[in-house]
Amino acid sequence: MRLGNVYLVGAGPGDPGLLTVRGLERLRSADVVVYDQLVNPAILAEASNTATKIYVGKQAGHHCAVQTDINRILIEYAQAGYEVVRLKGGDPFVFGRGGEEAAALADAGIRFEIVPGVSSALAVPAYAGIPLTHRGVASSFAVVTGHPVGNTKSSVEWAKLAYAVDTLVILMGVKNLPHIVAELLGGGVSPQMPAAVIQQGTSPQQESVIGTLKNIVERAAHLRSPAVIVLGQVVELNAQLQWFAPEAMLREKLVPRVEEIIESPGLDAGATGI
């Protein structure tokens, strides 16, 4: 029997308009779609009505499917000859375990393709009016997970990292924000360092909380995952560069349908990159 292919597709951070053309093409032609909890339902709806859709979402403290099970699902459907899309929030290779899944597919002799997605590490600060680099302000940034693996202590040396780069972007760190801030302050980082926490970025429910290391834990205490934390002087640019109006999205003024994006004149695959 002919083996199928597996496409590890990044669905982006939430806004359907940020799905790439390549990702949309693969999604529409898939026989099977294996998708995560953070995938926007509007994106999932672009899959064929005949496609088998399998939810394998992971939330803090609760995993619908463990990683070994997800690997097995991808391999078994591909071995049965199906075209499989593994649809993941953000980018598959940015804290998305895409490397683990690709390695499992390679070991099983399954052909696979990586379709990069727009990472929340880039898009969410942008939607909050925060550039990660800015001439005269920041020339470097780092993206790091704020969620330690398993029950182990985080290996990130927060203070050293904050001194090494101009902008620090932390994914999956809301629950550990008090610990992260304590580590930074204990390492001598200024309590006046600008800080932002952006919840559900790029969606109509986006909420941005701006502060400093001194007060960000208190100000952002009501926010929950998914959220992106940004630390550094670039956060101050939010006051000038804030452009995104979530309430306008709720009125469907800022989110074009995927069909409209694809059919726009002059748009090609190269224009949909980050």
Annotation says 58 is catalytic: yes
Among residues 144, 190, 201, the alpha carbon closest in space to that of 168 is found at 144
Other beta carbons within 10 angstroms of residue 82's beta carbon come to 17
Q: Which residue is catalytic, options 15, 31, 53, 58?
A: 58
> For residues 5 and 25, is the Cβ–Cβ distance under 8 A?
no
**How many CA atoms within 13 Å lie on the side-chain side of 191?**
5
Among residues 15, 36, 91, 166, which one is catalytic?
36
User: Is 8:114 a contact under the CB 8 Å cutoff?
Assistant: yes
Please say if 36 is a catalytic residue: yes
Q: How far apart are CA 236 and CA 249, in angstroms?
A: 25
Catalytic (active-site) positions: 36, 58
